[in-house]
Structure 1
Amino acid sequence: MRELKKKRIQIDRDKCISCLTCVSACMVEKDSEESRNRVVMSSDLKPTPIFCRHCDQPECVYTCMSGAMRKDLETGLVLYDKEKCASCYMCVMACPYGVLKEDDRTKKEILKCDMCVENPTGPACVTKCPMEAITVEEIK
Structure 2
Amino acid sequence: MKRVYVNEEWCLGCHSCEYNCAFANSGLSDMVKALKGKKLFPRISVNGKDKISFAVSCRHCDDPLCVKCCISGALHIDEGRVCIDKTKCVGCLSCMMACPYGALSVSENGTAQKCELCLENACGEPACVKGCPNRAIVYEER
Structure 2 residue 68 is the aligned partner of structure 1 residue 62: yes
Structure 2 residue 126 is the aligned partner of structure 1 residue 123: yes
Structure 2 residue 43 is the aligned partner of structure 1 residue 36: yes
Count of paired positions: 129
Runs of 4+ in 1 over 4 A off after TM superposition: none
Deviations 1:33-73 (A, max 9, x none): 2111111116x84111111111111000000121100112x
Shift of 1:86: 2.2
CA, structure 1 residues 87+124, in 2 after alignment: closer, same or farther (shift >3 Å)? same
Answer yes or no: is the 8 Å Cα contact 1:121–1:127 preserved in 2. Answer: no
| 1:1-140 to 2 correspondences below 5 Å | 6-31=1-26, 33-41=40-48, 45-72=51-78, 74=79, 76-103=80-107, 105-107=108-110, 109-118=111-120, 119-139=122-142
Counterpart residue identity of residue 86, structure 1: V
Shift of 1:121: 2.0
Q: What secondary structure is seen at the aligned counterpart in 2 of 1:48? A: strand
Q: Distance in 2 between matches of 1:48 and 1:58?
A: 22
TM-score w.r.t. length of structure 2: 0.84
Give the CA RMSD over aligned residues.
1.6
Q: What secondary structure is seen at the aligned counterpart in 2 of 1:40? A: strand
Q: What secondary structure is seen at the aligned counterpart in 2 of 1:57? A: coil
Q: What secondary structure is seen at the aligned counterpart in 2 of 1:9? A: strand
TM-score w.r.t. length of structure 1: 0.85
Shift of 1:77: 0.6
- Unmatched tracts of structure 2, length 5 or more: 27-33, 35-39
